[in-house]
Structure 1
Amino acid sequence: MSSNSSESTAGGPGGRWARIARASLAPARAFQTSSRTPLLQVLKTAVAAVIAWIVCSFIAPQQVPVFGAIAAIIVVQPSVNQSFTRAFERSIGVIVGVVVAEAAAFVFGSPGWLILAAIVISLLVGWALRFPQSSTVQIPISAMLVLSIGAQTPGYAVERIIETIIGALIGVVINWLIVPPVALKPAHDAVASLGREVAAIMEGLARVLSEPTDSASRQLLLVEARLLRPMQAKAQAAVDLAEESLRFNPRRSSHRAELATDAALLTMLGIVVTRVLGMARSLNDHFDESLHEEPTAAGIAEELRRAAHDLRLVMQNAALPVAEVELLGDEPPALTAPLQALMPSPEHWIVIGSLLEDLRRVREEIVGAIDK
């Protein structure tokens, strides 16, 4: 009984059909993203396309207002600044494409090969003028449509330019009016994650300096410290995206202070990351078991724990997301006085000196952030 059940679920017809279904869906999943476009942006795009279609239908009643609707759809972007950029790029691409088509028709007439020649010339013009990819692609499309459709429709080229500009303007206005997106939360989360990880690495360095560890754990700590660089790059990208989302955004005034705090914290964390990574390398390269006997090593370990505490305090005071187990309440800063270092032994002066200099810079940055 159990063997039959196992066969039906794993190797029997039921299991076989399940595998076939999963295999058939695999190509479809390859074209899917991990997250959907926000529904609000989809609705804004639809509204912009409908309005552009209605408005442009009055400009050229004899033509279907496809190009105005296309411009509106393309221009509605995740940020208002990107909408302005796309509107400008598409308008310039259409204008240059129309000029190329009109000039080619004026010089060569209307032979059958002219459309292919105009496509090649348009691409070269976009390349020569160093246009972005979106404008470069738009030039040959506009030239091709003008030469193929416009030859039978007087005034087609001018109407296409006007229609595209109107559709682009409608897309910008709709994206500006209907709840323009503000990408502050990803920036908050990325900066907070980086701060938490830096604090954890500093506590790991303190453990290496204050208690016995093996080579594998020290090597793992170095790897974790090196992973701070990708986290820093991710946080910087999130802050840059947030800054872009605020450009030309009517809600920017209420969010600029928050973003400025994130940017300042990220600058501070960038310096701390460099120093923490240097400390991890120094300990990994110059560690020996007698390092625990150095009185200054214990002092450095304690300062690292205090620095981790105060870094979490800085993140908490900046209202960044903090894990519940890391909440510090109204605790005061722990970095109250500089470390008084003793002369290290000749075998350890390189690693102790390196750690002290990195610790000095870490302390300066964290104390400075607390005092602000």
Structure 2
Amino acid sequence: MKLTSALRSAKRAPALQVAKTGVAIALSWFAASLILRVDMPIFAAIATLLVVAPSVNQSLAKGIERSFGVIVGVVIAVIGTWLLGTETWAVLISILAALALGWLVRASPGVANQMVISAMLVIALGQGSFDYSLLRIVETIIGAVIGIGVNMLIVPPVQVGPARDKVAALGNETAATMVRLADALVTRHTSGELQGLMIEARLLRPMQEAAKKAIEEGYESLMVNPRRSKHRDELDEMKRLLEKVLMPIGTQVLGMTRAYYDHYTDSLAEEPFAHDIADQLDRAAHDVRLAVHEADVNPNPLTSMVPALTAPLEMRPPKEGNWILIGALLEDLRRIRLGLVKEDAEESE
């Protein structure tokens, strides 16, 4: 692993997020200085830095986590100072005690780390003084409250865009996988080409999980967010599209590709019914793109606005004896059609 990849992020944080964090730190610094009459309100600044998160819900969680960790760490520092004094070895023992307590109560990493840091700083900087410890608790709460308030008031971050991008990418890749399979059905292939087709189809699984996770993060970003009503309907539609259309169709397409890989014969390219199935797959791919467009995920689709699956495919016996594969492809194609043609799906229920 390159050193630069370990030190640098794949992308920059939004400039607005950085600006909000800076504003929140400045406000908490001045507020703590004014209220508590301290010159260096470091605890308030650190609390604010950690609390201004990508979503308001995360800010609340981090604020509670941060405040709780500080309180427990300060208590450990006060007890440690009372029992052991403020010698160097006493600081070490207090740190180890905070680590052990965090492990014992199964504290989250944020709480456990804050317990250790607070215990260390209170003993090192405040000599374990009760007054100093109490000020640090209040200072931390001030920083956390201001961080949450700034995150709520200054354009609260909404994680709908990433969800939209992930769902659009999944829709496009699902359609592309269907087109690749359609092209494969009417031509002959080597074993290497078949393996490549299978590998590309399997990429749908991680893309489905990525889209699902992005939608969940979108919902999380709307919790206790003043702008939640504006975006919830959009997320609801994306969730419906993912769960009712893209994921089921992805499962069928992957199954069709697997069946084609397992039962492939050179004679399949000469099978007239294989050409019919390929045509239906191309039409279904068009309708997948159209479904993504209707969910306002892709505002500029490269496709006609008219659905292509206008009539069911009429069955006739395969000529080359590829009964197993043709039957499997037809069943999956039927399920894909039910997911795309709403009136057919309703009649089947």
When the two structures are superposed, what TM-score results if normalisation uses the length of structure 2?
0.90
Q: How far apart, in 1, do the equivalents of 2:291 and 2:258 lie?
A: 26
Larger displacement relative to structure 2 (108-117 or 70-79): 108-117
Q: How does 1:148-187 map to 2 (within 5 A)?
A: 148-151=124-127, 153=129, 155-187=131-163
CA RMSD of aligned residues (A): 2.5
Q: Who is 1:318 aligned against?
A: 295
Please list the CA deviations of residues 8-55 of structure 1 after superposition, one character each: whole Å capped at 9, or x if unmatched: xxxxxxxxxxxxxxxxxx966762333222111111111111111111
The one-letter code of the counterpart of 1:341 is M
Q: Who is 1:18 aligned against?
A: none
Q: 1:140 to 1:212 in 2, by over 3 A?
A: closer
Q: How many pairs were matched up?
A: 344
The one-letter code of the counterpart of 1:320 is V
CA contact (8 A) 1:314 1:369 kept: no
Q: Who is 2:10 aligned against?
A: 34
Larger displacement relative to structure 2 (77-86 or 296-305): 296-305
Q: How far apart, in 2, do the equivalents of 1:150 and 1:370 lie?
A: 73
Q: Who is 2:61 aligned against?
A: 85
Q: Who is 2:254 aligned against?
A: 277
1:347 positional shift: 4.1
Pairing 1:340–2:317 present: no
Q: Who is 1:73 aligned against?
A: 49
Structure 1 unaligned blocks of 5 or more: 1-25
1:81 positional shift: 1.3
The one-letter code of the counterpart of 1:282 is A
1:364 positional shift: 1.4
Q: Who is 1:132 aligned against?
A: 108
Q: Who is 2:277 aligned against?
A: 300
Pairing 1:366–2:343 present: no
Q: How far apart, in 1, do the equivalents of 2:345 and 2:13 lie?
A: 41
SS at match of 1:321: coil
**Residue from 175, 179, 184 that aligns with 1:208:** 184
CA contact (8 A) 1:192 1:322 kept: no
The one-letter code of the counterpart of 1:241 is E
Larger displacement relative to structure 2 (159-168 or 283-292): 283-292
**Residue from 225, 229, 249 that aligns with 1:249:** 225
Please list the CA deviations of residues 56-100 of structure 1 after superposition, one character each: whole Å capped at 9, or x if unmatched: 113321452111111111111111111111111111100111122
Q: Who is 2:237 aligned against?
A: 261
Larger displacement relative to structure 2 (210-219 or 255-264): 210-219
1:122 positional shift: 0.2
Q: How far apart, in 2, do the equivalents of 1:156 and 1:327 lie?
A: 67
Q: 1:121 to 1:344 in 2, by over 3 A?
A: same
SS at match of 1:264: helix
Q: Who is 1:239 aligned against?
A: 215
SS at match of 1:149: helix
**Residue from 101, 107, 131 that aligns with 2:77:** 101
1:253 positional shift: 0.5
Q: 1:277 to 1:27 in 2, by over 3 A?
A: closer
**Residue from 17, 22, 31 that aligns with 1:55:** 31
1:107 positional shift: 3.7
Q: How far apart, in 2, do the equivalents of 1:150 and 1:30 lie?
A: 35
Q: Who is 2:167 aligned against?
A: 191
Larger displacement relative to structure 2 (87-96 or 216-225): 216-225
